Chain A
Amino acid sequence: MSQNMPPITDDDLHAFVDGALDPERQTFVAAYLAQNPQQQRRVDLWQRQRDLLREGLDSILIEPLPPELTMMHLLEQRQRNRFAWMAGHARIAALILLAFGIGASSGWFGRADLAVPAAATTAGTATGIAALKLETRAAYRIFAPAPRTADDTAAPATAHALARAVGQGFTVPDLTAAGYTVARVEWLATMHGPAAVVMYRATDTKPLLLLVRKMDVPATSDRMTEEHHRGRSMFTWISHGVGFAVASASAPERLHHIANQIRADERAL
């Protein structure tokens, strides 16, 4: 039988250990190993690795699952998130109508992308960073299509108002080094207090939105979080009680870099 067998390769030795050979080949490899102590030793150790790994790791299989990893919890969470999204949108829509008047938001309700699937959400209740994300998404939908140039005469007054809303020491971040210029600065009334929205424009990529406001709840983490949905990315973080969100349809890496820069500049103040 061995006459017609192709020569033994390393792949055969692995397949031997993993039981992936047909019986004839398995016998052939076993006979080869019996003649080659060095390879036999190698294969023995591989088998020992497998046995030890399984022995060491199998206890995880019988550990009780943490509640958040049970199917019941996961399915419930999914339902909740769906509901929270609908509720969140309705609330923000109402707020924006109040803030800008119905005329400013005409065309918005008709947009197909208003219905965002539940999978994109990360939080079941809209407070803290989850609320900040919802507001940023809503603001992006409104302002990204129309990043008109800021009125130079109004800019100083806007900046002053921003400082009052968000806190002393806040200035509109300068992103000219990254290729972005300020196109528009807006106020937004949210459930959690006044927010500042800055639209930036670049010649070579999509507009960028920065939303800043004081947080309604204390920060639980100073880590930056991110989410990506339908080609848009958002990075959020909390610093000294102020929440920051940047959103854009430009490349996530570029946006991330800018988010890091804004955070670094803000910390340096």
Chain B
Amino acid sequence: MTANDAIERTIPSLRRYARALLGTTQDADDLVHDALVDALARPRAGLEAANIRPWLFAILRNRFVSNHRRAKYRATTSIEDNTIEMATMRPGQEAGLQMRDLTLGLAGLPVEQREVLLLVTVEGFSYADVAAMLDIPLGTVMSRLSRARDRLNDFMDGTTKPRLRSVS
């Protein structure tokens, strides 16, 4: 498998991750597109197919951070203000209210916690992979994961009502 094949196979999961992170399909696909353009501009001859996925997620993450910083700097919209589109989640018949609470809870998490939670639980990366990807110590990965999970627990068992920031 060539590097380009491996990149192509990763695109669906990049979209999944970006959409859960940003909340809207358009923003997410724009981010994925930018990340892929970045990736194709880099040399990838020495990369093994197995390493392409964490490599791409790291590139997407860098792109996300720089866009996010700019958004903050401009103080017009910030990522935290985006709520996850309800349509992003397509619950099965039985999931119901818990799914709704989880969706709202996820949207209400600080972005640093949301990204760690998604990378570990949905994308299945190891803690070490995530630490390398986000360029943070392993202990920080664990504490963010812990805070994210406990906070979502509060939403799911109803101890905390979702507190969403209003979108102006």
Contacts and interface: CB of A to CB of B under 8 A. Distances in A.
Contacts of B38: 119
Contacts of A61: 12-13, 16
Contacts of B73: 253, 256
Nearest to B154: A45
Contact of B11 (A52, A53, A69): A69
A66 interface: yes
Given A14-B146, A69-B15, A71-B8, A48 B98 contact: yes
B7 A49 contact: no
Contacts of A56: 88-91, 95, 99, 102-103
5 contacts: A18-B121, A54-B122, A56-B90, A71-B7, A256-B73
Nearest to A71: B8
Q: Nearest 9 A-B pairs (CB), nearest first?
A: A119-B41, A56-B89, A60-B16, A50-B121, A71-B8, A61-B12, A45-B153, A46-B149, A11-B142
Majority DSSP secondary structure for residues of A touching B: helix
Majority DSSP secondary structure for residues of B touching A: helix
Interface of A: 10-11, 14-15, 18, 20, 42, 45-46, 48-50, 52-63, 65-66, 68-71, 74-75, 77-78, 117-119, 224, 226, 253, 256
Contact of A117 (B41, B120, B145, B153): B41
B49 interface: no
A73 B12 CA distance: 15
A192 B128 CA distance: 53
Contacts of A18: 120-121, 127
Interface stretch (B29-37, B55-63, B160-168): B29-37
